[in-house]
Amino acid sequence: MTSTPIADLWPTLPGADTRPEAAYRLLQAAVESFAERGFHATTTRDIATAAGMSPAALYIHYQSKAALLAEISQAGHAATLALVRAAAAGGGGPAERMRRLVEQFTTWHARARTVGRVVNYELHALPEDAYAVVAALRLDIEREVSALIEEGVTAGAFQVSEVRTAARAVTSLGIDVSRWYTDRSTEAPEELGRRYGELVLRMLGARV
Amino acid sequence: MTSTPIADLWPTLPGADTRPEAAYRLLQAAVESFAERGFHATTTRDIATAAGMSPAALYIHYQSKAALLAEISQAGHAATLALVRAAAAGGGGPAERMRRLVEQFTTWHARARTVGRVVNYELHALPEDAYAVVAALRLDIEREVSALIEEGVTAGAFQVSEVRTAARAVTSLGIDVSRWYTDRSTEAPEELGRRYGELVLRMLGARV
DNA sequence: TTGCTGACTAAGCGCTTGCTCAGCATGGTG
DNA sequence: CACCATGCTGAGCAAGCGCTTAGTCAGCAA
């Protein structure tokens, strides 16, 4: 999915249907540039050229370079939260749901690593109001994981001394995948997800 | 140690004794700026002003802005590798050494998070030759962890199906600490290190 | 035909960037 | 004293930045 890094999260974007195709191309070019070079090292000329337009065309579809980043970041976070919620809310006991959560969380960060890098490592470049929205979403993700661990501990399925630290470790493992995973990685995203699911369950002291 | 983020690694810098104090101040200002805003969003005026000098003074002590980054990155990686090697080479069985390694690796990434952020998240801004040096150091760190896990598996101290994946997870957990740890974190670096040591040993299937 | 709209471009504005350079103060050395 | 190396500054240059402006053009409704 490297060729279309935002294909997965495109449907979650507001107004995705009505938006002209050029806006989509700009968004895609922005994701790739921001992920590879970082927000500040990316120029509006980079983005526009990659989308096959002149720099001025960018401003017809987006208010600013920062607005592009905000849109990517918010959509990416919303998609991640949705994924986490779906996995945590599905059937099964705490261990089964946690395995599913970690598998999907990890797989997403490996497959959508391009979006993942922008989402996780360009937060500091967000305008203040966009950052506030995104920070709330990140908190929700963290809370979802914490709640599931808490539930597992209460049910006797997990053995964890510090729930918050454990939750941090779980999300941290997944997020960092988007940093180190590359095209050259030999493990497929799903395979990595399965292995990480196993490791996390052991980490949480789940009875296997 | 936020006030003197490079105090720990300063002695490891080449020519630290002979270097004028102004060079030290510039280095420190650069670490703080790069960590907070990123390399590209940091201006030479930012660095020089924070060090109490005019922008021109920077170029008496360093060839370029990128040379500052290279120096920070190389020193930081060298210090980390030394820490990992020392922990892995100390006394005790695989489990004891792994616990020590994770404790110190984690503690370092929490306490020296300012340097850690530059070291781990500004790699893309490094000039090619400096990147090559740093990449080699990173590979050495990864290898050191892999070797210890391998040894533990052979000795029957660990139960791990994929050594490389497990090694990735261990280093990944530590590195990501420098991303999320803040002044407001309630856990002290050493406390976090102890907890992470515990989690990792469980993850590796160590007999506890 | 006329009038209007939305998507786009060529040109470029005002500003900031990394970096340079001539010159100045200081302090050790003959 | 003269001499000079060292550390630094004020002024500023060339390049590149985000973004704007004036205007082109295809498509469409009346």
Whether the predicted pLDDT of B8 surpasses 90: no
- Which residues belong to CATH 1.10.357.10 in chain B? 66-203
Kindly state the average pLDDT of the residues B195-200. 98
- pLDDT confidence bin for B16, thresholds 50/70/90: low
Residue to substitute from B124, B202, B204, B208, interface A, most A β-carbons within 10 A: B202
Q: What is the pLDDT of residue A7?
A: 59
Report CB contact under 8 Å: B180, A162.
Answer: no
Query: In terms of Cα–Cα distance, which of A189, A176, A172 is closest to A2?
Result: A189
- pLDDT confidence bin for B115, thresholds 50/70/90: very high
Structure tokens at B154: 């052979």
Contacts of residues B46-49 at CB distance under 8 Å and 24 or more positions apart, as own/partner, are none
Cα separations in angstroms, B45 against A124, B31, B51 = 20, 14, 10
DSSP characters over A88-135: HHSSS-HHHHHHHHHHHHHHHHHHTHHHHHHHHH-GGGS-HHHHHHHH
Give the other-Cβ count within 10 Å of B85's Cβ.
14
Q: What confidence tens digit (pLDDT) does each residue in A92-134 have?
A: 999 999 999 999 999 999 999 999 999 999 999 999 999 999 9
A105 burial (CB, 10 Å; 0-12 / 13-18 / 19+) is buried
| CATH, range B66-203 | 1.10.357.10
Q: What is the pLDDT of residue A21?
A: 83
Instruction: Name the least confident of A13-22, A39-48, A49-58, B123-132.
Output: A13-22
Whether the predicted pLDDT of A1 surpasses 50: no
Q: What is the pLDDT of residue A22?
A: 84
Specify the length of chain A in residues.
208
Q: What confidence tens digit (pLDDT) does each residue in A180-195 have?
A: 999 999 999 999 999 9
In what helix (H) or strand (E) does residue B37 lie, and over which residues does it extend? helix B21-37
Q: What is the pLDDT of residue A14?
A: 59
> CA(B62)–C1'(C24) in Å?
22
Backbone angles phi, psi at A42, to 5 degrees: -90, 130
B117 to chain A: closest CA residue: A121
- pLDDT confidence bin for B22, thresholds 50/70/90: confident
Kindly state the average pLDDT of the residues B28-34. 96
Residues on chain A touching B200 (C-beta within 8 angstroms): 203
Mean pLDDT, rounded, of chain B? 92
Q: Find residues 13-42 of chain A whose CB sits inside 8 Å of chain B.
A: 36-38, 40-41
CATH of B10-64, one of 3.30.390.10, 3.40.50.300, 3.40.50.720, 1.10.10.60: 1.10.10.60
Residues on chain B touching A121 (C-beta within 8 angstroms): 121, 179
- pLDDT confidence bin for B2, thresholds 50/70/90: very low
Residues on chain B touching A37 (C-beta within 8 angstroms): 124
Cα A66 to its chain centre, rounded Å, is 19
- Which residues belong to CATH 1.10.10.60 in chain A? 10-64
Instruction: For residues B191 and B106, give the distance between their C-alpha atoms in angstroms, rounded to a whole number.
Output: 10
Residue to substitute from A176, A192, A198, interface B, most B β-carbons within 10 A: A176
Is the separation of the CB atoms in A28 and A4 below 8 Å? Answer: yes
- Three-class secondary structure assignment of B181-195: CCCCCCCCHHHHHHH
> What angle do helix axes B65-89 and B113-121 make, rounded to 10 degrees?
110
Q: What is the pLDDT of residue B198?
A: 97
Chain C: positions less than 7 Å from a protein CB are: 6-12, 16-22
Instruction: For residues B83 and A84, give the distance between their C-alpha atoms in angstroms, rounded to a whole number.
Output: 36
User: In this prediction, what percent of chain A has a pLDDT beyond 90?
Assistant: 87
Q: What is the pLDDT of residue A123?
A: 97
